[in-house]
Amino acid sequence: MNKKENGTKRIKKPWPTKEAMEQVYEMKLWGAGKSHFYSGEGSHLTELVNPYITVLTSFLTSFQSAIVVCDLGCGDFNVGKELVKHSKKYIAVDIVKDLITYNKEKFKAKNLEFHCLDIATDDLPSGDCVLLRQVLQHLSNAEVNSILSKLYSFKYVILTEHLPLGDFTPNKDIVSGQGIRLKKHSGLNISAPPFNFKIKQEKQLLAVKLNDGEGVIVTTFYKIF
């Protein structure tokens, strides 16, 4: 039941994602980089970043005319900055307002835009291709489902997720901001229940095993229509 304060009904927010992600950067829970904003080793380790940039560059440059890319959950933009030049327009989105303000000041290009949005609740920018790099793994099933419902307006989705090695039970639910499904020996499979995301084509682009044995980072291409 919602409580009332000063006669005003207080509406409980459906998901704690915004506050959780703000705390990640404020408390440097993903580590401390050279700047105040650091999106963790997954966005900076060369053994993870370089292969991703290589396969994404190959994909983006395969089109006769450059396409519009929407990077949902762009983080500190250490990865995205390498892909801007290969797109017609690159729209980078994150939920943390101060991070977006910082990125706007640091990264500039004529075809680059930054937006502060909650991709689970806000309308998404229009474009040809969505990049979701280790974003959905942090979110509850309800949020994931909300985001997936919006992706049918894009032609392509490139999804990167941290998955357990070997067989696992997919899509165990979590509370946003409290780790990822790996702690439950689970990971996202958007084609499986409860999501059942409908696609025309699916292809694994990249799989990088982590040196600590804690799973594998898998990047998958989906053609929607």
Q: In the chain, which residues have pLDDT < 50?
A: 1-12
Cα 161 to chain centroid, rounded: 9
Q: Looking at residue 147, what is its pLDDT?
A: 97
Residues 152, 196, 74, 41, Cα dihedral to 10°: -160
Predicted local distance difference test score (pLDDT) of residue 177 = 75
Residue 56 CA to its chain's centroid (Å): 15
DSSP one-letter code for 56: H
Take residue 67 and report the two structure tokens written for it. 């396409």
**What is the DSSP code (8-state) at residue 209?**
E
The SS3 call for residue 30 is coil
Q: At what angle do helices 97-106 and 17-26 cross, to 10 degrees?
A: 60
Could you give the CA distance from residue 83 to residue 222 in angstroms, rounded to a whole number?
19
Helices (H) and strands (E) in the chain, counts: 4, 9
pLDDT of residue 22: 72
The pLDDT score that the predictor gives to residue 29 is 59
- In sequence order, the 6+-apart residues with CB closer than 8 A to the CB of 62 are none
| Interval 26-69: pLDDT, tens | 766 566 666 678 777 778 889 999 999 999 999 999 999 999 99
CA distance 125 to 80: 17
Superfamily of the domain at 4-223: Vaccinia Virus protein VP39 (3.40.50.150)
Residue 72 CA to chain centroid, in angstroms? Answer: 5
Residue 151: DSSP 8-state: G
Question: What are the residue boundaries of the structural domains of the chain, listed by start?
Answer: 4-223
**Cβ atoms within 10 Å, residue 211:** 8
**How far is 201 from 220, CA to CA, in rounded Å?**
10
Q: How far apart are CA 160 and CA 134, in angstroms?
A: 5
pTM of the model: 0.89
Q: In this predicted model, what pLDDT tens digit does every residue of 145-156 receive, in sequence order?
A: 999 999 999 999
Q: What is the pLDDT of residue 14?
A: 58
CA angle 214, 151, 153 (to 5 degrees): 155
